[in-house]
Structures are given as structure tokens and as C-alpha cells.
Structure 1
Amino acid sequence: MNPSVKKLIETASKESKLIIGLMSGTSLDGLDIALAKVAGSGANTSVELLKFMTKDYQPELKKRLKAISSVPQVSLEKVCLLHSKLAELHAEFILSALDQWDITPNQIDCIASHGQTIYHAPKIQHQQDDMPNTTLQIGDGDHLAHKTGILTISDFRQKHTAAGGEGAPMVSFVDRALYTHKTKDRILLNIGGIANFTYLPSREKSAPVITTDTGPGNTLIDASMQSYFSKPFDKDGQIAQSGSVHKLSLEKLKADPYFQKPLPKTTGPEVFNLEWVQQQLDTLETEQLAPKNLVATLTHLSAQTIAESIKKVVPNLTDTTIYVSGGGFHNPALMQGIAESLPGCRIESFAEIGFDPDAKEAVLFAVLANEMLSGEGFLMDTDKEKINFGKISFPS
């Protein structure tokens, strides 16, 4: 038997595994690295976050990634080069993190690599009936496995689209397995570049689990900060809090057809970007918004569209708690906007039921990798078939 296959079988047979989960979001700011201990599988999965850190991308790399991300035309040479280069960089980050944690690579059972999304194209977006849902991530798993010497699982979103899904959001599979409560309804809200949430009705209810994107989370706020203030994001919501919301502009942005489309749905920066903002506001024929007022308006756009999407799924939130993760959780202006749009609703950090909210998505992929190795697969959204996620790359 091939030694790599033998090692794979031994790893899959373990009761618990040490898995490194990786996540790099549409904000292009860096790589989240989570070391998780994952045991069991399926509904019997348990997870413990042992270590977590974020490795920042250098400005030059951010510039190169931005040039090939969420744009309709791009140099294939640049995509090809960064596909391998980014994986090598991620491998260096992993080895550095393990060194800081005083852990050797041979103690790790596998790496779960999300990669870097450079284009997301569900049918709701490309609107070509003869074409499937599709999505593309770079950061080659084979380069990762070779450079780290660790079994690597990657390309998680491709199996979802192959089975008829949109490739996003991926959180529902793990959310419903780990965080469904016996008697209480929960909403798990993640605010990254794009915001998404999972509605988890209590186990005693027969209501379906619903997972959907809502629209922009941080992406428009970050883009406006980078364009007008030369800062990566609105730290502590300071700019938004110093500005005023332009109500006419806000209503115009909220009138975009995407927000009226039925749930569930997905989207990305391909749709929600500063060009989209400018196109919408140009039709108002009003004076250009002052930068701080634009940031305030975009912050409330995210807050209100998140809240309105949640209310479509759960009109009465009296007995439902929302647990928040992702970078948007650290923006007081955004969180205040959500709270004001959902009066009487309890909003808490995801840490109340899990762990560091910044690590949630990286841990998500660690759990998906564990299921790929040891489980029977997660039920697809239709609840008619089970699939495992990911492509396996063996170390050399």
C-alpha cells in the first residue's frame, strides 16, 4: 500500500485530530490560522480551539491580489503565479505559527485550506441558464502540502457547486451540527466582507435551518476607508460615528434588486463595490457625499440590510439570540446600527457559545476537513444527499 494512503487511513481512524484551519476573506487583509482539536463526526462532532493568530498580508501582496479579485477580466499569468505563490506564503505562515506555538508539523494531522476567493459567480449573479454556479479560489493545496509536509485538504467550495449549491455560505453544515440548541432558537451572524447568517431553530421545532448571505458586511466600508482615508478599515467605527447618514442615498442603495431577491442567496464584491455605489448615487443628482458621511451611510446600509434579512426569516425575535462573529463584530457603529434595527433582540458575541469570534470561519474549515476524513458527509441544503467537502493533497 502506498505509504501516503496508509497514513491517510490511520489519520481518518483517529478519535480526535489536530487540524489547522485557514481562512482568508474578501477583505484581503491576511490569513487566519486556527489550531483546532476536532473529535467525532457529523452530529457527534466536538471542537476545541487550541491556538489562533492572524498573519497580515504585506501591502504589495494586497495590491496584487486586489488586481485579480472580483474583476471580470484579468491576466491568466497573474492568476497562475499567485495561485502557487500564495500557497507558498501560507505554508510559511503556518510553519512560523507552529514554531511560535512550539508544535512540530508532524504533530498536525492535516491542514484545511479555504484559499483566497478571487471570483464568485452563482447563477443569481451571472444569469446564464446554460452555466452552473461556480466559484474560484487560489492557493494551491499541493504546494501547501509539499512545503509544510502536512496532509492538506482544500477546494471546499467546489464540491458544493458541483452538487448544485452556490458555493456559499458554507457555515450551515457546521453551525447546525455544533450549535443547534435543544429548546432555544439561535441566529449565528458572521460579518466579513459579505455578511451571512444561519437560523438554527431549536431541536424541538420542525422548522428548517436557513443560511444566506445578506449583502455587504465590511466590504463597502473598507473600500471607502481605503479610497478616501488611506486606512484599511474604520477602526472602532470612528469615521462612521463622526459622519451623518444621508437618508436619500441610503434608501437608493437599499433599492437595489439584490435586496429584494428571495432567501437564501449569495453575493460578493463582484456586485457590491465602490463602482456600484457610485452608479447608484449618480442617479440621485445630489451633491457628492463627504467621505465621513459616505462611510456612515454605508455602515447603516450593512446594518439595515443584515437586520431586514434576519427579520424575513424570523419576524418575531423575542426569544431568539443572535451570536456574532467576524470582523464586523469589532465595529461599534455597525453593531449599534444592527441593534437599533432589531429592537428588543438579544445580540451577543459568538464566544458565548463557542470561542474567539475572529476564528470561527477558520475553525469551520477544520471541521469540514475532519468530516472529509472521518465522517459520512454533511446533508446538502435540500436534505436529500450527503456530500464531503475538499480535495486531498499528500505531502511529498
Structure 2
Amino acid sequence: MNVYVDQLHKIANKSRRVVVGLMSGTSLDGLDIALCHISGAGRDTELELLRFETKGYTDSFREQIRQVFAKRAVDQQVLCGLHALIGQTHGMLVNEALQEWGISRSDVDLIASHGQTVFHAPQSLTGTNDYPNSTLQLGDGDHLAVTTGIITISDFRQKHLAAGGEGAPLAAYGDYLLFSDMRETRVLLNIGGIANFTLLPPPEGNGNPCFATDVGPGNTLMNQYMLAHLGEEMDRDARVAATGTVNKPLLDALLSHGFFEIPFPKTTGPELFNLAYLTDAQRATGTEGLSVPDVMATLSAFTAAAIVTAIRQAVQAYPTSHVYISGGGLHNPLLVEQLTNGLGGIAVSPFGELGLLPDAKEAALFAVLANETVAGKASDVSVILDSPAVCMGKISFPA
């Protein structure tokens, strides 16, 4: 028997596994690394976050990714090379984190790597049936496994696609296993580049299934605009947007896309919500001359309005609902204020109130998905609406 097959069998039979979850989102700010203790599987899963750190990307590495990020026409040599480079780089960042934490790689059972999304193309977004639903995450699992010497599970989204899903959002799987509550309906809102939420009715309640859905832009349009006009990666603490005034005609134009009428669950990405989308809306409303603060204020209002409308629609049938916010948008005080005001009557709290560091949530959830791959079963997540009941990820051995 291959030594790593035997090792994987032993890992699967452990009562508790040590898993490093990795997440790199569309903001391209860095690699989230979550060191987790996970025991059990399915609804018996218990997660303890031991360590967490975001390893920032260098400007040059970020620019290399931007050469292919959300672009239909790319240099194939760059695309091919980045698949290996991102895998190696993520592996080196994991090695750095483990060394800083005083953790031996022999003490880690698995790495769970989301990779770097560079293109998301479900048919609902592309508008064509010429190709099946597809998505592409770079960061080869074999390179990660060889660089770290740790068995790696990666490329989770492909199984979701192969089984009939759209490849996103995957948060519903881990959210359901870890955070369902018998008393309240929970809305776990994540505001990354794209905003998405998981709706979690009480599992023994009225029989309504949980689901995860994208709702529109999170930080992506604001970040893209800041970079293009001020050379900044983000509007830190909403310092620019807070000085501007929302332009109602532009806001209405931004909210007029047919995507917002598609029933839940649905997916989207920066392939739709990008600077060209903003430019078209400004041209249609004659607002090309707006100041940078006014545009930023309007983009923040756009993100908030899309989220508020979607959540209010989703929780209509649930009298006791509570929204918990995670992701980079949690650190945007203007956006949080707009959401809280817009959701008046619905409780809103930071996700940390559920016992997990908000910034670590996505990386930790991929650790849970890896745990399900080796120790769970597909039926553990059979209640998730319009999402295939599957265990996801490809397994890469270090040698």
C-alpha cells in the first residue's frame, strides 16, 4: 500500500484532526491561514480555531494574478505558470506560518486549499449553453503538497460543478454543519469581493431547507474603483465614501440589472460587477462627472441595498431572524451602518458572536470541507437547497 494512502486512512479514523484551511478571495489582499482542530463529521462536527493569520501578498505577486483575474482574454503562458506559482507560494506561506507558530508539519494532518479564483462562469452568468457551468481556481494542490510535505485537498468547486451545481457559494456546507441553531433563523452574511449569505432555518423547524446564495457586489467594485482612481487597494475605514453623497440616479441604474431578479440561490462574480459595469451605469445616467467621494458613497450604498433587499426577501417567512456579518466588509463602518439601518427590525451582529473569528471563517470552512472529504459522507449535507450532496476536493500526496 502507498504510504500516503495508509496515512490518509489513519487520518480518516482519528477522533480529531489538525487541518490548515486556506482562503484567498477576490480582493487579492493575501492568504488566510487557519489552523484548526476538527473532531467528528457531519452534524457532529466540532471546530476549534487554534491559530489564524493573513499572509499579505507582495504587490508584484498581486499584479501577476491581476493579469488573468476575471479576464476573458489572457496570456496562456501566464495562466499556466500562475497555477504552479500560486501553489508554491501558498505552500511557502503555510511553511512560514507553521514555523512562526512553532508547529511541526508532522503535527498537521491535512491542508485544505481553496486556491485563487480567476474566473467564474456558470451559464446563468455567461448567458450561453455552449459550455457547462465552470469556474477556475489557480494554485495547484500537488505543488502545495510537495512544498509543505503535507497531504493537501484542493480544487473543491469542481465536484460541485460536476454534480450539477454552479461551483458557488460553498459556504452553506460548513455553515449548516457548524452553525445551525434550534431557536433562531440565522443569516450568515459574508462580505468579501462578492457578498453572499447562508440562510439557516432551525434544522428541526418547518422543514424549509437552508441555502447559500450570492447577492451582488461586496467590496469588489469599491476596491476596483479605489485602485483605478486613487491607487489604493481599498477605502480603508470608508474614509473616502464617508465624505461623499449618494447619487440616486446612479444607484438606481446599478440596481437595475436582471441578476437581482433571479431567484435564490444564484452566483455571480467580478466578471459582471466590475468597472465596465459602473462605467455603463454612469454613461446611462449622465453621471460621468461625479467626484470620487460621491461615486464611492454610491457604490457603498449599492452594495448595502443589494444585500438588504436580498436578506429581507429571504427571511420573510421567519419571525426570529439574526444576521451575523463576516468578511472584509465587516471592517467598513459606513457599509455596516447602512446595513444595520436598512435591516431595521432584524438583529445584526458580528459573526464573532458565534465563537469563531470572523476573518478566519472562510478558511476554517474549507478545513471543514476537507474534514468531510476524508471522514464524512455526502448525505451529511443533503438538506441544502439546489446544491448537490457531495464530498468535495482533490487529494494530493507530498510524494
Give me the TM-score of the superposition, normalised by structure 2. 0.97
Number of the residue aligned with 1:209: 210
**Conservation of the 8 A alpha-carbon contact between 1:318 and 1:344:** no
**Conservation of the 8 A alpha-carbon contact between 2:211 and 2:385:** no
Number of the residue aligned with 1:22: 22
1:390 aligns to 2:375 (yes or no): no
Number of the residue aligned with 1:58: 58
AA of the residue aligned to 2:163: A
**CA displacement at 1:156 relative to structure 2:** 0.2
Number of the residue aligned with 1:360: 361
Structure 2: gaps spanning 5 or more residues: none
Number of the residue aligned with 1:48: 48
**CA displacement at 1:130 relative to structure 2:** 4.1
AA of the residue aligned to 1:394: F
For each residue in 1:154-187, what CA deviation from the matched residue of structure 2 results, as whole angstroms up to 9, or x when unmatched?
0100000000101000010111111111121111
Q: Structure 1 35/384 Cα, relative in aligned 2: closer, same or farther at 3 Å?
A: closer
Number of the residue aligned with 1:97: 97
Number of the residue aligned with 2:334: 333
1:137 aligns to 2:137 (yes or no): yes
Number of the residue aligned with 1:158: 158
Q: Structure 1 50/218 Cα, relative in aligned 2: closer, same or farther at 3 Å?
A: same
Q: Structure 1 67/89 Cα, relative in aligned 2: closer, same or farther at 3 Å?
A: same
Number of the residue aligned with 2:299: 298
1:197 aligns to 2:200 (yes or no): no
Give me the TM-score of the superposition, normalised by structure 1. 0.97
Number of the residue aligned with 1:218: 219
**CA displacement at 1:340 relative to structure 2:** 1.6
**CA displacement at 1:319 relative to structure 2:** 2.2
Q: Distance in 2 between matches of 1:296 and 1:113?
A: 35
Q: Distance in 2 between matches of 1:290 and 1:182?
A: 48
**CA displacement at 1:354 relative to structure 2:** 2.7
**Conservation of the 8 A alpha-carbon contact between 1:183 and 1:202:** yes
For each residue in 1:243-296, what CA deviation from the matched residue of structure 2 results, as whole angstroms up to 9, or x when unmatched?
111111001110111112211100000000011100121011245210111011
How well do the aligned residues superpose, as a CA RMSD in angstroms?
A: 1.3
Q: Structure 1 27/383 Cα, relative in aligned 2: closer, same or farther at 3 Å?
A: closer
Shift >4 Å, 4+ stretches: 382-385
AA of the residue aligned to 1:60: S
Number of the residue aligned with 2:373: 372
Number of the residue aligned with 1:307: 308
For each residue in 1:302-341, what CA deviation from the matched residue of structure 2 results, as whole angstroms up to 9, or x when unmatched?
0010010111111267521101110000001111111121
**Conservation of the 8 A alpha-carbon contact between 1:183 and 1:203:** no
Q: Distance in 2 between matches of 1:385 and 1:221?
A: 33
**Conservation of the 8 A alpha-carbon contact between 2:165 and 2:387:** no
**Conservation of the 8 A alpha-carbon contact between 1:239 and 1:292:** yes
**Conservation of the 8 A alpha-carbon contact between 1:318 and 1:345:** no
- Amino-acid identity (%): 45
